Amino acid sequence: MTPVLNVKGMVKRFGGLLATDHVDITVNPGEIHALIGPNGAGKTTLISQLMGELRQNEGTIELDGVPITSLPTAKRVSMGLARTFQITCLLPDYTVLDNVAIAIQVRQGHSFRFWGNVRHAQELRQSARGFLDAVGLGDRAGELVANLSHGEQKQLELAVALATKPRLLLLDEPMAGLGHVESQQMIEMLRGLRNQVSMLLVEHDMEAVFALADRISVLVYGRIIATGTVDEIRDNPEVRTAYLGEGDELC
């Protein structure tokens, strides 16, 4: 079986600092692979490299067996890679619906179309509404993004990413800053999506990770120190000292 994502020997240096230290990681079709690790372990850096926003110093990336190592971000997205941002990154002057519709517009092909009014393009508006309904933002479609609550922005991040019809979704702390109820909703939503799209889930909320993940990898100082099922990771002594123990004390 070809993994959806296959990363080999990824290295990223910032000056003398090794931010990503020979990382190998795979995500299988239909799998939710969680990536956990303390702050500053290099999780977001890794996602940025997978998206091509940052260029790695060494290593290869394959999407569905096709090498994408040197492709620009836009190309990777068109091949089925999408991400959400930890600190939400949306178009603040646009409405909720516009944010999703523009993602569909870009997915449909080039935008060198200069004449028709894009806000009258019913097929864009219709399918954008579909994605909004799916994440529970249907009744907020006409609201400006700047007026959304933090939780709603997280939901919209997910809707925009889904609108690009990804094969693999890179989720950068989708629960961060959410209240308990909102977190539960997000977990349910992601669980509902697992048949459509594979996911690499970066998350601090261990409840969410244990509830969703098929496999877990632990990243510490840019290096993956363990990969395994939920139970294996829970019982791994190295992980407990490096990460979970520390986390327990903090909580």
Partner 1 sequence: MEKTLKRPVLLAGVLIALIALPTVADTTGYAALTSLATRVLIYGIAAASLNFVLGYGGMVSFGHAAFFGIGGYVVGILYQHYSLGEPLFGFIPGTNQLLITIPVALVVSGLMAALIGALSLRTGGVQFIMITLAFAQMLFFLFVSLKTYGGDDGLIIRRANELPGLNMRDKQTVYYVCLAITVAFFFILWRIVNSRFGNVIVGLRQSEKRMAAIGLPAYRYKLMAFVISGMGCGLAGALMANFLRYASPDMIHWTKSGELMVMVILGGVGTLFGPLLGAAVFIVLESILASWTENWQLGLGLILLFVVLYTQGGVQGLGSRLLGRRA
119, 133, 149, 231: residue in contact with partner 1 (rule CB under 8 A): 119
What track of x and - describes contact with partner 1 for positions 190 through 229 (by CB under 8 A)?
A: ----------------------------------------
Q: Which structure tokens are listed for 131?
A: 């994605």
Intra-chain end-to-end CA distance of the chain, in Å: 40
DSSP E strand boundaries for 15-135: 17-27, 32-36, 58-63, 66-67, 81-83
Least Å distance, CB 94 to partner 1, is: 7
40, 92, 179, 245: residue in contact with partner 1 (rule CB under 8 A): 92
60, 78, 184, 227: residue in contact with partner 1 (rule CB under 8 A): 78
The reply to whether 82 sits near partner 1 by the rule CB under 8 A is yes
Residues 12-41 touching partner 1, rule: CB under 8 A, are: none
Contact 77, 41 (CB under 8 A): no
1, 16, 65, 117: residue in contact with partner 1 (rule CB under 8 A): 117
The reply to whether 184 sits near partner 1 by the rule CB under 8 A is no
CA distance 249 to 229: 23
Q: Which residue, 63, 88, 87, is CA-closest to 8?
A: 63
CA distance 36 to 26: 15
The reply to whether 243 sits near partner 1 by the rule CB under 8 A is no
Q: Which structure tokens are listed for 79?
A: 């091949």
CA distance 176 to 75: 28
The reply to whether 46 sits near partner 1 by the rule CB under 8 A is no
The reply to whether 107 sits near partner 1 by the rule CB under 8 A is yes
Tokens 């971000």 found at: 73
9, 30, 67, 72: residue in contact with partner 1 (rule CB under 8 A): 72
The reply to whether 53 sits near partner 1 by the rule CB under 8 A is yes
Residues 139-168 touching partner 1, rule: CB under 8 A, are: 160-161, 163-164
Least Å distance, CB 124 to partner 1, is: 9
Give the rounded distance of the alpha carbon of 173 from its chain centre: 8
Burial of 29 (0-12, 13-18, 19+ CB in 10 A): middle
Which of the 8 DSSP states describes residue 7? E
Nearer to partner 1 by Cβ, of 77 and 206: the residue is 77
How many residues make contact with partner 1 (CB under 8 A)? Answer: 37
Residue numbers at the binding site for partner 1 (CB under 8 A): 51, 53, 72-75, 77-78, 82-83, 85, 89-94, 98, 102-103, 105-107, 111-119, 121, 160-161, 163-164
